[in-house]
A = this chain, B = another copy of it.
Amino acid sequence: MSDTPRSLLITSIGKAFAPRPDSPYRVDLLQADCLYCREGRIEAWLDSASQAAEIEALRRKGLPLCDASDALLLPGFVDSHTHPVFFAHRAEEYEMRNAGRDYLEIQRAGGGILSSRRSLMAADPAELKARVRQRLKRFLRLGTTTVEAKSGYGLSVEHELLSLRLLKELDAESPMPRLYPTLLAAHSVPPEHREDREEWFRRINEQILPVVVREGLAKHADAFCEPAVLSLQETETLMSRAREAGLGIKLHAEQIESAGGGALAARLGALSADHLEEIDEAGIQAMVEAGTVFALLPGSTYFLGMERWAPARRIIEAGGRIALCTDFNPGSSHIQSMPFILSLATCRLKMSAEEAVWAATAGGALALDAAGEIGCLEPGAAADLCLWPFQDLAQLPYTCGDNRPARVILGGEVLGQEE
């Protein structure tokens, strides 16, 4: 997002719920119906019953006003795992899978990550940028004010850098969600390097990573740590190098096989391990001890037609901190809506409304190393807010299939309601 800090006075808030950045799953009901945002940040909570004079003084300053009309106020969602930089949809692959074709058949028919790579490489860069822009703006309309966005469909030096530079350009536009770009060159080993995998890793380390660091193109690096894609050893080598270069680490892990990716994330000091449908007890313990965030993506389990959901209750019982994310991508989760992820988190992962809301806000912020800055209502945090047409928190995940905030506020600016 661009840098135009705004001040704002929000009045007539019905209820404001504050996920606590330092206390997993704690979401407090605030005793205030008025919020003063100053220069894009949360400045002070005020209650019209006891602080009428202070509120009146702020009104007299001529601040922009927002009447919340008794809506429920929450921080905007922090979606800490998405893949929005793709060109073509893959609806035909979805159709094949539902007709019973397996992953290998779909790959033979030209599907999978490599299909996204082909269409991205063939795309007109301006048209690619227009599509990514449209997707990022759609996140905003759905209440997501911070989006982690991965490369990973380029899978060449040129197209990985193109993907990240495109995000940097979009980040300067307004309105645009706060973007946290992630280098995911290690999404797959491209076909031309299948016989010499080390050559692809060398290019990542020598030709991509230094440029990413020099141009400030990514905050984090990620790798698809699955036996069928990258081994534990390959992942560790790549991610250690990225960490040395100054990037935070995230891992795709334990989606297909229980193979130790969660424990590796813990050992590497990663911010999060993501997916984790197949994580075992030892992996959970290792991540809890290291403080690694459990980024859960129930949208892909749903979208792939699978029944094995990530063990959210077990993770919560063990003291783990969960971030909920859409995993938005054209192959395994064509889902941008965090409210739908909250639906899945409650009726499939069996999280409570409070747990799910915490994980979709404060949990996402933790997974981006931004706790206290976004995904919360603490004074000093970004004034990224959603107004929901509900009386109670429980109505948010209960409203399923089409659920958007009544209003979205980004850095203190009330956004328009464009479709």
By a beta-carbon cutoff of 8 Å, the part of chain A in contact with chain B is 89-92, 94-95, 97-100, 142, 299, 302-305, 307, 326, 334-337, 339-341, 346-348, 350-353, 392, 394-395, 397-404, 406, 417, 419
Contact = CB atoms under 8 A, between A and B. Distances in A.
Given A100-B350, A303-B347, A91 B402 contact: no
Contacts of A352: 95, 98-99
The main secondary structure of chain A at its interface with chain B is loop
Contacts of A91: 353, 392, 394-395, 398
Contacts of A346: 94-95, 98
Given A98-B346, A302-B347, 12 more contacts: A91-B353, A91-B392, A95-B353, A95-B394, A97-B347, A98-B347, A98-B351, A100-B350, A336-B401, A336-B402, A339-B402, A402-B402
Q: Top 6 nearest A-B pairs by Cβ distance?
A: A340-B401, A337-B401, A91-B394, A91-B398, A337-B402, A335-B401
A106 to B, nearest CB: 14
A334 B402 contact: no
A394 B305 contact: no
A392 B94 CA distance: 13
Nearest to A404: B402
Contact of A89 (B336, B341, B398): B398
Contacts of A98: 346-347, 350-352
Contacts of A335: 400-401
A340 B400 contact: yes
A399 B397 CA distance: 19
A328 to B, nearest CB: 10
